[in-house]
Amino acid sequence: MTLSLSKGIEAFLQFFYPIFRKWLAYDVYAYLAVGAVNTALNILLFAILYEFVLPKTGLDIGSINVASYTIALIVAFFATIPTGFWLSKNFAFKSVDVGKKKTGKQFFKYILVVSQGLGSDYLILKGLIVFSTIQPTLAKIASTVIVLTVNFLLQKYFTFKK
């Protein structure tokens, strides 16, 4: 299953790369492509949780009311860590050494980078919602664009550096 999925994803990436070859190195193109899939999954989970599952008034946890968009952000984040790491490691940064020890280190670094991204995402999201009164799902899309740019650089030069 995983092997055929990997081959399918790689074939898809190779098929469309000639369109982007003039502007993007393969690792940037692959990161954007697989990252777009993982990001779309993240935004979809966020939107479903925020729009349909969680109460708009937030959830009372003890004596603290936690905003629904905060809960949706955290749940979507943890749900997409495994898919994001797998896609990045196997398609965007696949030329990097492999091995169990190396993979463990990379996964730890990946979690550090995406955790930074979560913190940044939360602060940007909160700022856009509170100070700009932007609707949460639109604010999530805007914050994601900013965070993804920073995360690519960190993943390339820190997590999966050659």
Phi and psi at residue 48, in whole multiples of 5°? -60, -45
Q: What total number of domains does the chain contain? A: 1
> Which domain range does residue 27 map to?
2-159
**Which two tokens mark 103?**
């993979």
pLDDT tens digit string along 73-122? Answer: 899 989 999 999 999 998 988 866 666 778 889 999 999 999 998 899 88
| DSSP state for residue 64 in the 8-state scheme | E
Task: Kindly state the percentage of the chain with pLDDT values over 70.
Answer: 96
Provide long-range contacts, Cβ within 8 A and 24+ apart, for 6-14. 6/90, 9/34, 9/87, 9/90, 9/91, 10/91, 13/91
| Full-model pTM | 0.77
Nearby residues of 23 by Cβ (< 8 Å), 6 or more positions away = none
pLDDT tens digit string along 40-49? Answer: 999 999 999 9
Mean per-residue pLDDT, 11-37:
92
| CA angle in degrees (0–180, nearest 5) for 92-122-133 | 120
Mean per-residue pLDDT, 2-11:
87
Within 13 Å of residue 138, how many CA atoms lie on the same side as its CB?
Answer: 7
Q: Give the model's pLDDT for residue 7.
A: 92
